[in-house]
């Protein structure tokens, strides 16, 4: 089954404690991306990757890091989480050109206290 898998799905953590949200896709997609979704603001892109070892900032990259060492994996790293990073996070993937359909993971609810 084609899917984007992210873990953990739910996490409560404390300010300053480094955490990693993993993301893996099994569709051999070139593009992967992370979004955060907040009430009234919709989906905002954090980082994206066009292929292995190629990453770039989205609209809200501050406080986040990513890496793309393998085509299937695109982890999101919060080096020192803060309460304003409390949000619902989605990993997504898309086939390269001319693919347009974005496939989303199930989401990770992150609370930073």
Partner 1 sequence: QKEVEQNSGPLSVPEGAIASLNCTYSDRGSQSFFWYRQYSGKSPELIMSIYSNGDKEDGRFTAQLNKASQYVSLLIRDSQPSDSATYLCAVKRDTGGFKTIFGAGTRLFVKA
State which residue, 8 or 16, has the beta carbon closest to partner 1: 8
Residues that bind partner 1 (CB under 8 A): 31, 33, 35, 40-45, 48, 50, 90, 94, 96-102, 104-107
In whole angstroms, how close is the CB of 66 to partner 1 at the nearest point? Answer: 13
For the record, the structure tokens of 40 come out as 């009234």
Rounded Cα distance, 19 and 81, in Å:
8
In whole angstroms, how close is the CB of 43 to partner 1 at the nearest point? Answer: 4
State which residue, 40 or 69, has the beta carbon closest to partner 1: 40
In whole angstroms, how close is the CB of 40 to partner 1 at the nearest point? Answer: 6
Cα separations (Å) of 8 from 13, 30, 64, 66, 97?
Answer: 12, 23, 16, 16, 30
At which residue do the structure tokens 């309460």 appear? 83
């Amino acid at each position: 089954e084609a899917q984007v898998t992210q873990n953990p799905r739910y996490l409560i953590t404390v300010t300053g404690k480094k955490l990693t949200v993993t993301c893996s896709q099994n569709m051999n997609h070139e593009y992967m991306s992370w979004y955060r979704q907040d009430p009234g603001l919709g989906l905002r892109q954090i980082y994206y990757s066009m292929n292995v070892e190629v990453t770039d900032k989205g609209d809200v990259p501050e406080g986040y890091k990513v890496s793309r060492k393998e085509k299937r994996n695109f982890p999101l790293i919060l080096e020192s989480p803060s309460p304003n990073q409390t949000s619902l996070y989605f990993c997504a993937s898309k086939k390269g050109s001319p693919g347009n359909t974005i496939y989303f993971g199930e989401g990770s609810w992150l609370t930073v206290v």
